[in-house]
A and B are shown apart, each in its own frame.
Chain A
Amino acid sequence: MLSPASGTGRFYRKSAKIIRFARHGCANRPFFHIVVTERRRTQKMPVIEQLGTFDPLENEHNEKLVSLNLERIIYWMGCGAHISRPVDQLFGLSGLLPIHPTLYMTAWRNRKEIENQAKEENNESATKT
């Protein structure tokens, strides 16, 4: 059963919280809620609060849509909540936190791959002519 966005999860005041994704799509259609829960809870358990959404599939304008409740995110970070790595990366891209190094890594690896592909194509065309 879906829990309301305000969350129904029970939690202890001093327990470890985490801001992470909860998958809410269906088969072959991922859709994520950005939620804050107790760290030991499983994904489908009731959450303390929903802090945003993330749609990993591009829409018709080739955009991946993200919504963040910045006020509450800052609040829960102030409470000492942890942040999972994918969410960390997302926050980095959104400008809330510094950009995560893995994003730089994937970026330079992609650039390198594109360069290599271009080089190969050039070589192929040179050998053909």
Chain B
Amino acid sequence: MLALNIISKSLTSPATKSAVNLQILRWRRKPRWVPVAKSKQFRIPSRPVIIEDEQIELKRLFNNYRTQMKSIKRHIVERFVASRAITTDPKDIQRIFDEDFARCNKINDEWNADIKSQRIKYFENALEENVNVAKASLQKRKELDQIKLEEAERIVAEQKELSKTFITADNIDEAIEHALANPVDYNFAVDLDGNKFYHKKT
């Protein structure tokens, strides 16, 4: 049957119209039309030997087992049927509905109370955490400001120190005269010991 299915599928499917992909499956060792082997033709398989005591014991056990299973199954089926019993009495329906509602409502209330306590705790923690974070950031900001101020003051002091040597409009003539009077010659060579050699022609 399986082989037949595969054949019919492979023949009808558009992808494999040729029989190249056809693979015939066989459940038995032999094809159906091959007869029983000559050597096995008159073979009689040996029957299992069961001791009489064992057989009696097995019979007893099986009888017990079947009885027990029958009662257990019946019990389970009855319980199942009872659990699915449908009532048409409106009072009963209302009662079942109320009971179910009360049960669900109780569970819901429990969950709500639990979530409420969790929420209160969460918000308390969150507020505390936020305050702490704000305090920490404020402290950090103050420290940064202090550092910046110190840096600025240091730069200002440095510049003040330097400003004594600046050339301004007041002393520019003096500076020019000084520069003209003391020309600096950078045209020199240096040896490995650092000695300078000016205008030395070889």
Contact = CB atoms under 8 A, between A and B. Distances in A.
- Chain A, interface size category, equals 10 to 19
A75 B81 CA distance: 10
B69 interface: yes
A74 B54 contact: no
A58 to B, nearest CB: 27
B132 interface: no
Nearest to A78: B80
Contact of A101 (B62, B72, B80): B62
A79 B81 CA distance: 8
Contacts of B77: 77-78, 80
Nearest to A105: B58
Given A98-B65, A104-B61, A78 B79 contact: yes
Contacts, number: 33
Interface string B41-84: 00000000000001000100110110011001100110111010
- Specify the main secondary structure of chain A where it touches its partner: helix
B101 to A, nearest CB: 24
A97 B69 contact: yes
A97 B71 CA distance: 11
A23 interface: no
Contacts of B54: 105, 108
Interface in A68-97: 74-75, 77-80, 97
B76 A74 contact: yes
Contacts of A74: 76, 80
B79 to A, nearest CB: 7
A101 B73 contact: no
Contact of A98 (B68, B81, B83): B68
A74 B73 CA distance: 9
Closest 3 interchain pairs by CB? A78-B80, A101-B61, A98-B68
Interface of B: 54, 58, 61-62, 64-65, 68-69, 72-73, 76-77, 79-81, 83
